[in-house]
Amino acid sequence: MAYNINHLNELEAEAIYVMREVAAQFEKPAILFSGGKDSILLTHLAKKAFFPAKIPFPLVHIDTGHNFPETIEFRDYLADLLDAKLIVGSVQEAIDAGLAVEEKGANASRNVAQIPALLKAIEDHQFDALLGGARRDEEKARAKERFFSHRDEFGQWDPKNQRPELWNIFNGKKHFGEHFRIFPISNWTELDVWQYIAKENIELPKTYYSHVRPCVVRNGTILAVSEFVQPREGEEVKDMQVRFRTMGDATITGAYLSDADTMEKIIQEVASARETERGNRADDKRSETAMEDRKKEGYF
């Protein structure tokens, strides 16, 4: 007679409720697919929410052109597996069309340039809701974000003028040209995400697991050597045993020394990072969140 469910099941039930509301309340919703674990998680939840039907959302990927090959490979594989439509918005095209400007300088990235590419994709395809994998625990500013986040006809968010969100009633009413960003996993923490991925056995790109690859160390950040990152003068290329915690642009996404090659080890690592890693690798940490922030500006 104990009618209770555990925290992961409750978070899952909440996320699925939100996704079903999106399918019911909007005409052209889509999943904003970044290639990272949080958006992979969204596709998994969507699959469960609408089973045995196909997921009712296409995947929209804003491609900076600077992605790890593993990200693109996994994206295509996943879209195929889900039988989902994949829509790619190109930052390069946005730059070529004069909609976006390429950043200059030593640590230039294309994160900010994603915004116009995304807004163009929204306009071209008339999307009225975009599901994203952002979480409230990621940073202070996000702690107040809604599940249903209203954007005006210019795609802008007004954090001071958000609609109150009560109980589980989500008001998705909008005027023509406006759209919503939807965050079904708002209430999940980093740890919840990993625990759930482990529980559900969700497949992730290999880059999330420990592997050996050639890297350079730049400003205290370990960068994988690739088409986009070549050693600069004085930098030494070394084979390192690393893994990634996020999957952003290859130009700026830092790798971490790690021998966590299984899900269990990763969870242990995420767990103990709370205590130690912050302390002795504060610089890495800070630059990691800085990158995340830029990414967020771009995506959300």
Partner 1 sequence: MEQEIFNAESYSKMELLRFTTAGSVDDGKSTLIGRLLYDSKSIFEDQMEAVKVSSERRGDENINLALVTDGLKSEREQGITIDVAYRYFSTPKRKFIIADTPGHIQYTRNMVTGASTANLAIILVDARHGVVEQTKRHSLIASLLGIPHVVICINKMDLVDFSEETFNKIKNDYKQFASKLNVKDVNFIPISALLGDNVVNESENMNWYKGTTLMYHLENVHIANDHNHIDSRFPVQTVIRPHSDEYHDYRGYAGRVAGGVFKKGDDVTILPSGFTSKIKSVEFAGKPLEEAYSPMSITMTLEDNVDVSRGDMIVRTGNMPEISQDIDAMICWMDDKNPLRLNGKYSLMHTTKSCRCVVKEIVYKMDVNNLHKLEDDKNIGLNDIGRIKIRTTQPLFFDAYNRNRITGSFILIEEGTNVTVGACMIRS
| Contact set with partner 1 (CB under 8 A) | 2-14, 16-17, 20-21, 23-24, 47-54, 136-137, 140, 143-144, 160, 162-169, 171, 173-175, 186-187, 189, 191-192, 195, 198-199, 264, 267-268, 270-272, 274-276, 278-279, 282, 285-286
Residue 48 or 85 with smaller CB distance to partner 1? 48
Q: Are 127 and 29 in contact (CB under 8 A)?
A: yes
Work out how close the CB of 127 gets to partner 1 at its nearest, in angstroms, rounded to a whole number. Answer: 18
Residue 56 or 231 with smaller CB distance to partner 1? 56
Residue 90 or 162 with smaller CB distance to partner 1? 162
Count how many residues are written for the chain: 300
Residue 118 or 131 with smaller CB distance to partner 1? 131
Work out how close the CB of 54 gets to partner 1 at its nearest, in angstroms, rounded to a whole number. Answer: 7
Work out how close the CB of 145 gets to partner 1 at its nearest, in angstroms, rounded to a whole number. Answer: 9
- CA–CA distance, 210 with 198 (Å, rounded to integer): 16
Q: Output the DSSP codes for 86-110.
A: EEEEEHHHHHHTTSS----STT--S
Work out how close the CB of 252 gets to partner 1 at its nearest, in angstroms, rounded to a whole number. Answer: 20
Q: What angle do CA 36, 27, 188 make, to 5 degrees?
A: 35
Indicate left, alpha or beta for 251 from its phi (over 0: left) and psi (-120 to 50: alpha).
alpha
- CA–CA distance, 96 with 100 (Å, rounded to integer): 8
Residue 45 or 94 with smaller CB distance to partner 1? 45
Work out how close the CB of 25 gets to partner 1 at its nearest, in angstroms, rounded to a whole number. Answer: 9
Question: Count of CB atoms within 10 A of residue 161's CB?
Answer: 8
Work out how close the CB of 9 gets to partner 1 at its nearest, in angstroms, rounded to a whole number. Answer: 8
Residue 27 or 233 with smaller CB distance to partner 1? 27
Work out how close the CB of 16 gets to partner 1 at its nearest, in angstroms, rounded to a whole number. Answer: 4
Indicate left, alpha or beta for 219 from its phi (over 0: left) and psi (-120 to 50: alpha).
left
- CA–CA distance, 177 with 35 (Å, rounded to integer): 27
Question: Count of CB atoms within 10 A of residue 178's CB?
Answer: 14
Please give the helix or strand (H or E) that residue 216 lies within, else none: strand 211-218
Q: Which amino acid is at 263?
A: M
- CA–CA distance, 154 with 138 (Å, rounded to integer): 25
Residue 21 or 38 with smaller CB distance to partner 1? 21
Residue 14 or 235 with smaller CB distance to partner 1? 14
Work out how close the CB of 37 gets to partner 1 at its nearest, in angstroms, rounded to a whole number. Answer: 17
Q: List strands edge to edge, sheet with 129-131.
A: 86-90, 59-63, 29-32, 129-131, 179-182, 148-151
Q: Are 110 and 297 in contact (CB under 8 A)?
A: no
Q: Are 182 and 32 in contact (CB under 8 A)?
A: no
